[in-house]
Amino acid sequence: MQLALFAFIRTIFNTAHRMAYPFLGVFARALGVDIETMSLALTARAIGGGIIPFITPLADRRGHKFGMLLALGPFTLSMGIVVVFPTFPVLFASMFFASLAKLIFDPAMQAYISDRTPYEKRGRILAVTELGWSFAFILGIPLMGFLISRGGWIAPFPLLMGLGLLTFILIFLQIPDDETLVRTRASVWTSFRNVFSYAPAIAGLSVGLWATVANETVSLIFGVWLEDSFGLKIAALAASAAVIGISELGGEGLVAVLADKLGKERAVGFGLAANSIAALLLPFLGRTTFGALLGLFLFYITFEFTIVSIIPMMTEIMPSARATLMSFNVASLSLGRAIGAPLSTFLYRFGFPVVAIGAVLFNIIAVLALRRMEKGK
């Protein structure tokens, strides 16, 4: 029951987070700004992840339920304010605080589960919660596309606000307090020092960072690429997002089946290699609509396998400060998005093949970081 609730909440968070990608052009036109300006909003929300490590250690000290509730409140408010003030500056602020809320929730939830799950089973259990990524694209984004086509760009926000309020109540009622599991009273600065003095932790964080840069260079621009190449409209863009969601569902399923058997580090290495091959194939497959969707399917199934395998790998590097390290992991992924977002629009000026080559180069850096982490353990 708790896993289902967590997957549902993450579907809501990820729908709000990801709907900017396929509908980037739609939002920009409706608000009278250009694509580059909208991409800056995505960069700003990603940079906001840098403050997460200052907040999430509270979950190690006051309980992980507290951390989850701390996330859901701001998320609900950030969705509601857009309904009242539908302008670009307010949307900018809303995206920032909604992303911040998601980044607070994820490490608190991951630490809560990890405290209750043996490491040898953790890949399968955490993969279930990661279904929220794929469900966002399979169910959430098509629903948002339907609402936007009927009620304009603002239509998704009242629904997301109501779901935020509902899940706040469910967490409050269904998740037990976990003060007895709190193991550390270390200050935030002590937790930071512990993380940054441990080489495997730094290397592990680097793996997620560069893998996310690689992914973001494609993710931010794929909707614009499909519009430019094939003239896809809102409904078709929503359908393309569903294809990506199905691929991510496949990636999460593969993690549940393979990651614990292969070993988390080996699974991450395999995923990075496969994602690089998929990125190289994208420009060749993208000569037709079907080929482009097939290429995106391959790219996202391999990325999802990689990033979901990273999560259980990171949970065991520093068990005594698990939520703190996972918050740094979330921050590193946010930093990856912040780096990838402006790079994506810049590289796209030279054509989509250059975007794909950039993704491969960043994956290579992630592989080198993984090797360094393995040697340091």
pLDDT surpassing 80 at residue 219: yes
Would you say how long the chain is, in residues? 377
Is residue 67 a part of any domain in this protein? yes
Q: Model confidence at 273, in pLDDT bands (50, 70, 90)?
A: very high
CB 247, CB 296: distance < 8 Å: yes
pLDDT surpassing 70 at residue 187: no
CATH number for the domain harbouring residue 121:
1.20.1250.20
Mean pLDDT calculated for residue range 131-157 = 88
Q: What is the pLDDT of residue 270?
A: 95
Q: What is the pLDDT of residue 182?
A: 46
Is residue 219 a part of any domain in this protein? yes
Is residue 53 a part of any domain in this protein? yes
Q: Cα dist. 284→6, 165, 208 in Å? A: 38, 45, 27
Q: What is the pLDDT of residue 155?
A: 94
pLDDT per position as a tens digit, 46-57: 777 777 777 766
Is residue 183 a part of any domain in this protein? no
pLDDT surpassing 90 at residue 9: yes
pLDDT per position as a tens digit, 304-354: 999 989 988 888 787 766 767 887 888 888 889 888 988 998 999 999 999
pLDDT surpassing 50 at residue 355: yes
Structural domain span for residue 304: 2-176+190-376
Supply the mean pLDDT for the chain: 85
Is residue 181 a part of any domain in this protein? no
The whole-angstrom separation of Cα 12 and Cα 162 is 11
The whole-angstrom separation of Cα 300 and Cα 3 is 23
Is residue 41 a part of any domain in this protein? yes
CB 136, CB 18: distance < 8 Å: yes
Q: What is the pLDDT of residue 256?
A: 81
pLDDT per position as a tens digit, 15-72: 998 888 778 778 888 888 887 788 777 777 777 777 777 776 666 667 788 889 989 9
If one counts the domains in the chain, the total is 1
The whole-angstrom separation of Cα 198 and Cα 189 is 14
Q: Cα dist. 337→40, 188, 287 in Å? A: 11, 25, 27
Q: What is the pLDDT of residue 354?
A: 95
Q: What is the pLDDT of residue 376?
A: 65
The whole-angstrom separation of Cα 109 and Cα 321 is 14
HEC per residue, the chain = CHHHHHHHHHHHHHHHHHCCCCCHHHHHHHHCCCHHHHHHHHHHHHHHHHHHHHHCHHHHHHCHHHHHHHHHHHHHHHHHHHHHCCCHHHHHHHHHHHHHHHHHHHHHHHHHHHCCCCHHHHHHHHHHHCHHHHHHHHHHHHHHHHHHHHHCCCCHHHHHHHHHHHHHHHHHHHCCCCHHHCCCCCCHHHHHHHHHCCHHHHHHHHHHHHHHHHHHHHHCCHHHHHHHHHCCCHHHHHHHHHHHHHHHHHHHHHHHHHHHHHCHHHHHHHHHHHHHHHHHHHHHHCCCHHHHHHHHHHHHHHHHHHHHHHHHHHHCCCHHHHHHHHHHHHHHHHHHHHHHHHHHHHHHCCCHHHHHHHHHHHHHHHHHHHHHHHHHC
Q: What is the pLDDT of residue 181?
A: 47
Which range is least confidently modeled, 87-91, 235-239, 292-296, 353-357?
Answer: 235-239
Is residue 184 a part of any domain in this protein? no
pLDDT surpassing 60 at residue 178: yes
Is residue 185 a part of any domain in this protein? no
Mean pLDDT calculated for residue range 218-235 = 77
Q: Model confidence at 180, in pLDDT bands (50, 70, 90)?
A: very low
Q: What is the pLDDT of residue 359?
A: 96
